[in-house]
Amino acid sequence: MIRIALVDDEALIRAGLAALIDAEPDMGVVGQTEDGTGVPDMVARTRPDLILMDVRMPRLDGIQATRTLTARPHPPRVLVLTTFDNDAHVWDALRAGATGFLLKRTPPEDILAAVRIAHRGDTLLFPTALRDLAATRPPAPTPAARAVTTLTPRESQTLTLIAQGLTNTEIATRLHLGNETVKTHVSNILTKLGVRDRTQAVIAAYDAGLVRARR
pLDDT tens-place string over residues 30-48: 999 999 999 999 999 999 9
The per-residue pLDDT for 215 is 57
Judge whether residue 192 has pLDDT over 70. Answer: yes
Percent above pLDDT 70 for the chain:
99
Is a pLDDT exceeding 70 seen at residue 214? no
Q: Is the pLDDT of residue 74 over 80?
A: yes
> Of the CATH numbers 1.10.150.170, 1.10.10.10, 1.10.3720.10, 3.40.1160.10, which one belongs to the domain with range 143-208?
1.10.10.10
pLDDT digits (tens, 9 = 90+) for 102-157: 888 999 999 999 999 888 877 777 777 888 888 888 888 999 999 999 999 999 99
Mean residue pLDDT across the chain:
91
Q: What is the pTM of this model?
A: 0.83
Q: What dotted CATH number matches 2-124?
A: 3.40.50.2300
SS (H, E, C) the chain: CEEEEEECCCHHHHHHHHHHHHCCCCEEEEEEECCHHHHHHHHHHHCCCEEEEECCCCCCCHHHHHHHHHCCCCCCEEEEEECCCCCHHHHHHHHCCCCEEEECCCCHHHHHHHHHHHHCCCCCCCHHHHHHHHCCCCCCCCHHHHHHHHCCHHHHHHHHHHHCCCCHHHHHHHHCCCHHHHHHHHHHHHHHHCCCCHHHHHHHHHHHCCCCCCC
Please tell me the predicted confidence (pLDDT) of residue 130.
82
Question: What is the CB neighbour count within 10 angstroms for residue 41?
Answer: 11
pLDDT at 47: 96
- What are the boundaries of each domain within the chain? 2-124, 143-208
